[in-house]
Amino acid sequence: MSQVEVELLRKGIDAWNRRDVDLWLNYAAPQIQWLPAGPAAVEREVYRGYDEVRSGTRLPGKPTMCSSYRKTRCVIWAIQRCGSGA
């Protein structure tokens, strides 16, 4: 994994931790699939693509992330290359 890829990963996690869904999705591939836990899992088991993922993280009528995710924080313990990288 290159340093550029590591920085992209760190920025994406930072966007999640700041609850900035739109910025977080800038670091995701268009074919993103999100399997949530908590309230978002009631609506769907899997959210596919930017629009579905965005809708699953929002409270109805509010532009912020679902309140249950405010207590969730991602922490990087280690980053290591897996697989062939091809």
What are the pLDDT digits (tens) for 49-69? 999 888 877 756 555 555 555
pLDDT band at 31 (very low <50, low <70, confident <90, very high): very high
Q: Is residue 4 a contact partner of residue 82, using CB atoms and an 8 Å limit? A: no
pLDDT at 33: 92
Q: What is the pLDDT of residue 21?
A: 85
Give the per-residue pLDDT at 70. 59
How is residue 24 written in tokens?
A: 């977080």
Residue 44 φ/ψ, nearest 5 degrees = -150, 155
Q: Is the pLDDT of residue 41 over 70?
A: no
Region 75-79: mean pLDDT is: 77
